[in-house]
Every structure is written in C-alpha cells, then in structure tokens.
Amino acid sequence: MADSKFEGKVVIVTGGVSGIGAATARHFVDAGARVVLADIDGERGAALAAELGSAAWFRQCDVADLDQVMDLAEAVADRFGGVDILHNNAGIGCLGGTTPELDVGTWHRVLSVDLHSVFYACKAVIPLMRQRGGGAIVNTASISGLAGDHGFTAYNAAKGAVINYTRALALDHAPHNIRVNAICPGLIATPLTAPIEGMGTLRETWERGIPMRRAGMPEEVARVVAFLASDAASYMTGSIVVVDGGAMAGTGQPKVADFMG
C-alpha cells in the first residue's frame, strides 16, 4: 500500500474503468479507500474490480440517466454507509464539425454525459456527504473548457459549463464542509484520445504544441485528483487546476527571439 491517507474513506469514481478514472481508482485503493467504480462498460468494470480486490466494487451505471445515478448513490449508501469523495470523471469526446454541421442528437448526448452527469451525481451524493459532515468533489473538466477548439463545439460548451458549475457548487456547499474543485487535463494518453494515433501526424503535431513535448499519463492526473480530495488541499475549493504539460501557459504567439538577428 502506497499510504493510508484515505483509510476508511468511500470514493465514487464515474467513468472509473479506463483512462483517468481507472488510474484514480487504483490510486485511492492503494491509499486505503473503498472505491466504487461507476461505468457503463460492464466487462471492463468487472475485470478492474477483480484486479483491485475487495476494496473495489463495480456498479454498472449510465451517468447520463438520472434514475440510474440516484440508484447508484442509494446502493453505495446501503453498502458502505455513505460517501466521502466523488470524482465526476465520466465523459465522451466529439469532433462533430462546426455548428451548422453538428448533429443535434450528438450535441445532446455530449452535454448529457459530460455536463448533466456531473449535476446528477452531485444531486445524488451531496446529501450523503452532508450526513457525513462533509466531503470532497473533484470534477474532470478540460483545457477545452478554458478556451475554444476547432470543431469541438459540444465538448467545449460542456466542459466550460463544468468549470463554472464547479465554482457555483463550491460557494453553495462550503458551509457544509464540502469542497468542490475541478481539474483541466490537456492531452492525456487514454482510450478517449487513442483515435488520434490513426490520424496521420496529428499526435506529433499536437505534442509539438505542448511545452513538455508529450501527452500526459493517466497516473499523473490521478495524483492531482487525489491531492484535491485529500486533507492536504483542505483550504482549496472552487479551484480550477490545469494539468496539461504547459499547453495553456502561453498565448500561442510565435517565439520572437527565433526571428531576431
């Protein structure tokens, strides 16, 4: 066990069976927590729960369905007695073209999974946290919520909304000892970003725009999630933490020194 700073804590991770969610679940289990893996993928969920052992419990759940999310929270409360930490991580991407070309159904699906699910989970879990005397929520937003991208309109809209919703939650629930923060990953090597490998030189081009010149690893994001959920971040709420290898640090303007004699 890496440490025990989450010993006895009950953690829900949505989108918890791959990528950032799976890495976060592993980190919490190693740190002594009991982790609920909430995901629509039953096969992967069962496999990861078996790998992580008795500290992990998989619950199949479509986080875009309010009834399923409410049932999830009720089941977790019955099994573990409450919830201490919620990582709203479930999400999907969408390269759907500009607004005139974007299918309306795709728009609604992206917002349902990337935004509405965060509201649903918070609605279901915050009352349980109040009963425990407090808790911590970490929402996965994106640097695509801080600036726009070409052809990512639905994703940009959803992630931008998650960021400001995080701030509103932080204000509303600070009196209940519930801290709410968000992470904004950049390019992370996960199944969500795997399709770029088949798009010519896209990955190489993308990484050249990152000061650290590489994609991040899910474990690097998981460590930030765990920090925000821990007592080490006890005076942080409403914070939007960028985890992007420096991609958002610059303006995008050219390096003038390269053009000077």
Question: Tokens for 225?
Answer: 């999630």
Q: What share of the chain is helix, strand, coil (3-state, %, to 5)?
A: 50, 15, 35
d(Cα 5, Cα 9) in Å, to the nearest integer? 9
**Three-state DSSP class for 181?**
strand
Burial code of 59-73, b = ≥16 C-beta within 10 A, e = fewer?
bebbbbbbebbeebb
Question: Tokens for 202?
Answer: 């896209």
Strands (E), 64-169: 85-88, 135-140
Catalytic residue among 120, 155, 165, 235: 155
d(Cα 223, Cα 181) in Å, to the nearest integer? 14
Is 120 an active-site residue?
no
d(Cα 105, Cα 113) in Å, to the nearest integer? 12
**Three-state DSSP class for 40?**
coil
Q: So which residues are the catalytic ones?
A: 155
